């Protein structure tokens, strides 16, 4: 294992590579993000190999290995809702337990296609939409406490990631099959970049997960 001290002796290219590789792909709702990290090993190893082989080691190309992923960004709402910050007096003391019960009971009712991805650290647009919809229909009384606990600005910011999650799902489902056949006809650097975009759509929408 390479320590921080060891990286002082690496070249500038490899220092940037390690920084991009090590940051930001863990899920905020898992134990250290191990499950999320292992899902990305194939993507990262192939991308790093291509970057080194093609000498695509500038900051832009390396940043494509660690792209924006709306499913991980959307996960932060769950962490925020269950955080141990000072609760409003209007929020019941058992709010977090009630929220967990509401979410998991709804996911259980919706079945394995909804429950299993979430339990395995994968947030997808369809299952998330179904869960939120069922919670609002069956337990509307919990919604005011969510607004008070999380805050309107956070919910608005989360809504942006939720919309992007749907957008990435559309791209991964419909645009990916159109673009992928042309990858081998593109210049190597352009192909490298498009592969990373396709991976971002797929992993950012959680569609890399299969039941």
Going from the C-alpha of 56 to that of each of 53, 64, 99, 190, the distances in angstroms are: 8, 11, 46, 11
Here the tokens at position 177 are 């099959």
Per-residue pLDDT band at 94 (split at 50, 70, 90): confident
Confidence at residue 58, expressed as pLDDT on a 0 to 100 scale? 94
Confidence at residue 26, expressed as pLDDT on a 0 to 100 scale? 53
Percentage of residues in the chain with pLDDT exceeding 90? 53
Q: Encode pLDDT of 164-209 as tens digits.
A: 999 999 999 999 999 999 999 999 999 999 999 999 999 999 999 8
Going from the C-alpha of 41 to that of each of 58, 139, 199, the distances in angstroms are: 21, 39, 12
Per-residue pLDDT band at 131 (split at 50, 70, 90): very high
Q: With 80 as the cut, is the pLDDT of residue 117 above it?
A: yes
Per-residue pLDDT band at 84 (split at 50, 70, 90): low
Q: Encode pLDDT of 3-49 as tens digits.
A: 333 434 444 444 444 444 444 555 555 544 566 677 888 999 999 99
Confidence at residue 29, expressed as pLDDT on a 0 to 100 scale? 53
- The Cα–Cα gap between 9 and 14 comes to 10
- The Cα–Cα gap between 124 and 166 comes to 9
pTM, two decimals, is 0.81
Q: Between helices 143-150 and 95-110, what is the axis angle to 10°?
A: 120
- The Cα–Cα gap between 138 and 135 comes to 5
Q: Between helices 70-81 and 152-170, what is the axis angle to 10°?
A: 150
């Amino acid at each position: 294992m390479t320590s921080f001290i060891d990286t002082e002796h690496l070249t500038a290219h490899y220092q940037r590579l390690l920084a991009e590789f090590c940051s930001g792909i863990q899920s905020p709702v898992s134990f250290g993000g191990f499950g999320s990290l292992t899902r990305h090993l194939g993507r990262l190893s192939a991308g790093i190999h291509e970057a080194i082989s093609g000498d695509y080691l500038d900051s832009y190309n390396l940043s494509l290995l660690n792209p924006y992923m709306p499913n991980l960004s959307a996960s932060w709402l769950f962490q925020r809702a269950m955080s141990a910050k000072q609760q409003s007096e209007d929020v019941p003391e058992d709010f977090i337990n009630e929220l967990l019960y509401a979410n998991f009971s709804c996911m259980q009712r919706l079945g394995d296609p909804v429950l299993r991805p979430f339990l395995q650290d994968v947030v997808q647009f369809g299952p998330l939409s179904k869960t939120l919809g069922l919670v609002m229909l069956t337990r509307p009384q919990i919604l005011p406490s969510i607004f008070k606990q999380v805050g309107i600005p956070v919910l608005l910011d989360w809504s942006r990631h939720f919309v992007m999650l749907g957008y990435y799902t559309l791209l991964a489902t419909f645009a990916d099959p159109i673009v992928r056949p042309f990858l081998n006809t593109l210049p190597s650097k352009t192909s490298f970049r498009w592969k990373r975009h396709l991976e971002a759509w797929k992993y950012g929408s959680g569609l890399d997960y299969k039941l």
